[in-house]
């Protein structure tokens, strides 16, 4: 078992009264917790870990993978259980990166118990309020993004020794990610002829080259509003709580920054984004992070890195629907494609991509989704 040594859960005692654990929907609109074989095994594992069956199990969230998360409650205490089916999900990277983030000093879930053979893990609970929910309801964006930028700088400044131990964000990986866009979105989702887009391949390669030129840092790889939790400074820890970090890599400086500020799930005016990028530049420079010499150079890297990330994201959103039967991310494609189109218009080397989007991609998207409007 790699990196999954069990540590004691606080208040681990055997109780005299053993009730049957309750399965509770997290809200009236949620489906009941599925009564599948893995869930029964998870309940048994949790009973052994906690020393009692007197707990409630609620769906906490699901993501774009095979992982499932459940909130485990007992009295006024709660934990998060992860179900990661062996053969489909590997717990070792999660545990390894969780320990790195704990050492760096940011607020990430602490692994309390891990059973790699069964694919079960018990974490501390960072709460249920995501940045996205808070922002959509009018939360203080400057405070939230200020805290997220501060945490990102701390990861990049304090994570240098850890970054060297992470998988490299290299050219083959960058190319595989970009390839998701023509394969799953353009061809599979829109039905476009790949022969009409051969001239865009030089743009894809230019994006790879630009990404590889950036300084290498610890990259979370999904640092955005769905994976950042609003911390309270007390029960759920400092703001933000940071989730979904198991795919961390040693990669480009601006990757996490553009994930955060050009979020696929919520958009901000360019002027506001510019202010936050400047905040990052100053804080990162003061912390010794290897930022470019000028704000303009950072902004260019930020823009071009964003195009690579957004092409990947659009391809993943389409794949989630066509391969996995998950349509929930299709609504985020117009916003994400809008980022690509807007940035392509500002850089001559990206012009073939922007022109192809305007000529072929955007009309094809409108045909299958007449309500789609690029933001």
Ordered structural domains, the chain, with CATH:
22-124 (3.30.200.20), 131-368 (3.90.1200.10)
pLDDT at 35: 53
Predicted confidence at residue 289, as pLDDT, reads: 98
| pLDDT 10s digits, 120-151 | 999 999 999 999 999 999 999 999 999 999 99
pLDDT, residue 63, reads: 59
Q: How far apart are CA 58 and CA 33, in angstroms?
A: 7
3-state secondary structure of 187: helix
Q: How far apart are CA 301 and CA 323, in angstroms?
A: 32
Tokens of 20: 């049957």
Phi, psi of 287 (to 5 degrees): -90, 0
Q: What span, in angstroms and rounded, lies between the C-alpha atoms of 131 and 179?
A: 30
Q: Compute CA 85 distance to the chain's CA centroid, rounded to the nearest angstrom.
A: 19
Predicted pLDDT of residue 82: 95
Could you tell me if 332 and 317 are in contact, meaning their C-beta atoms sit under 8 angstroms apart? Answer: yes
- Contact criterion met (CB below 8 Å) for 291 and 284: yes
By CB atoms closer than 10 A (0-12, 13-18, 19+), residue 268 is middle
Rg (CA), the chain: 22
Residues 6+ apart with CB under 8 A from 310: 262, 264, 336, 337, 339, 340
* 233 Ramachandran zone, left/alpha/beta (phi>0; psi -120 to 50): left
Alpha helices in the chain (DSSP H): 37-50, 91-104, 131-136, 141-158, 160-163, 171-180, 201-213, 255-261, 270-286, 295-322, 333-344, 351-356, 362-368
pLDDT digits (tens), the chain, 375 positions: 334 644 444 443 333 322 334 454 444 334 444 558 899 999 999 999 999 999 999 998 765 568 899 999 999 999 999 999 998 889 999 999 999 999 999 999 999 999 999 999 999 999 999 999 999 999 999 999 999 999 999 999 999 999 999 999 999 999 999 999 999 999 999 999 999 999 999 999 999 999 999 999 999 999 999 999 999 888 899 999 999 999 999 999 999 999 999 999 999 999 999 999 999 999 999 999 999 999 999 999 999 999 999 999 999 999 999 999 999 999 999 999 999 999 999 999 999 999 999 999 999 999 998 888 787
3-state SS class at 229 = strand
The pLDDT of residue 21? 47
Give the Å distances, CA to CA, from 210 to 2, 161, 176, 371. Answer: 35, 24, 16, 34
Query: Alpha-carbon distance 256 to 310, whole Å?
Result: 12
């Amino acid at each position: 078992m790699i990196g999954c040594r069990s540590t004691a859960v606080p208040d681990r005692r055997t109780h005299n009264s053993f009730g049957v654990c309750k399965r509770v929907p997290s809200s009236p609109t949620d489906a009941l917790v599925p009564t599948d074989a893995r869930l029964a095994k998870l309940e048994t594992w949790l009973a052994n870990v906690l020393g009692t069956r007197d707990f409630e199990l609620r769906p906490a969230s699901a993501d774009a993978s095979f992982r499932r998360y459940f909130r485990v409650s007992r009295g006024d205490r709660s934990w998060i259980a992860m179900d990661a089916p062996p053969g489909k999900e590997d717990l070792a990277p999660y545990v390894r990166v969780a320990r790195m983030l704990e050492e760096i000093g940011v607020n990430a879930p602490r692994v309390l118990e891990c059973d790699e053979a069964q694919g079960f893990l018990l974490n501390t609970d960072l709460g249920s309020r995501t940045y996205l929910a808070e922002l959509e309801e009018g939360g203080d964006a400057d405070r939230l993004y200020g805290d997220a930028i501060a945490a990102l700088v701390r990861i990049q400044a304090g994570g240098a020794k850890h970054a060297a131990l992470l998988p490299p964000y290299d050219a083959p990986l960058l190319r595989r990610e970009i390839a998701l866009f023509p394969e799953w979105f353009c061809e599979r989702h829109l039905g476009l002829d790949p022969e009409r887009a051969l001239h865009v391949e030089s743009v894809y390669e230019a994006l790879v080259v630009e990404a590889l030129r950036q300084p290498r840092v610890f990259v979370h790889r999904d640092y955005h509003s769905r994976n950042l939790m609003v911390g309270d400074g007390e029960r759920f820890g400092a703001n933000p709580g940071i989730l979904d970090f198991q795919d961390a890599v040693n990669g480009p400086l601006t990757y996490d920054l553009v994930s955060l500020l050009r979020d696929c799930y919520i958009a901000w005016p360019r002027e506001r984004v510019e202010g936050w990028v400047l905040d990052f530049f100053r804080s990162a420079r003061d912390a010794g992070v290897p930022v470019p010499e000028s704000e303009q150079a950072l902004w260019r890297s930020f823009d071009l890195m964003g195009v690579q990330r957004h092409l990947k994201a659009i391809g993943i959103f389409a794949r989630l629907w066509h391969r996995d039967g998950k349509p929930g991310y299709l609504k985020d494609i117009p916003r994400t494609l809008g980022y690509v189109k807007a940035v392509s218009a500002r850089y001559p080397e990206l012009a073939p991509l922007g022109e192809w989007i305007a000529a072929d991609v955007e009309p094809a998207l409108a045909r299958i989704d007449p309500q789609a409007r690029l933001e």
